[in-house]
Amino acid sequence: MKKVTLILIAVLLSGAIHAQILTPVKWSYAAKSLSKTEAIILIKATINSGWHIYSQHVGDGGPVPTSISFNPSSEYTLIGKTLEPKPITKFEKAFSMNVSYFENSVIFQQRVKIKAGKPVIKGKLEFMVCNDQKCLPPDEVSFSIPIK
């Protein structure tokens, strides 16, 4: 009877371990005031070892690129496009093409013009994370970044 109980516990624990959701990317946010009317929004991805996320600039037929969208607001306007550092670019067999991606960490930057008060910049980002063996389904994360 003890063997049956131990086997049952082992099966249940192994199922729980497999049911855990992988989250190899952690996001953090900050805002840096440049003046009373301008700020830079910083969106940082900290990526677990062995994983990578893709650039905002990926060709057709490739993985889902990282995309950042900002909610419209009367309190601020975007200045230019969201910037990213130079990515790693390599051929990936899974997509049969060169793709650009980031490992370890990456900080995306967006300048904003402040029109009124101390706005809270809201939006969402979509990204796809892969390692050498698999890709996880694209994920979407909402953010809210106060300008102080």
Q: 29: domain CATH number?
A: 2.60.40.1250
- For the chain, 148 residues long, give each residue's pLDDT as a single digit of tens: 544 433 434 434 444 444 467 899 999 999 999 999 999 999 999 999 999 999 999 999 999 999 999 999 999 999 999 999 999 999 998 889 999 999 999 999 999 999 988 999 999 999 999 999 999 999 999 999 999 8
- CB count within 10 Å of CB 130 equals 21
**Do the domain assignments include residue 3?**
no
**Do the domain assignments include residue 96?**
yes
**Do the domain assignments include residue 4?**
no
**Do the domain assignments include residue 6?**
no
**Do the domain assignments include residue 70?**
yes
DSSP 12: H
Structurally, the chain folds into a number of domains equal to 1
**Do the domain assignments include residue 128?**
yes
What's residue 116's pLDDT? Answer: 87
Q: What is the pTM of this model?
A: 0.84
Residue 113 domain boundaries? 24-146
What's residue 20's pLDDT? Answer: 61
Phi then psi dihedrals of residue 10, to 5 deg? -60, -40
**Do the domain assignments include residue 58?**
yes
Phi then psi dihedrals of residue 143, to 5 deg? -140, 160
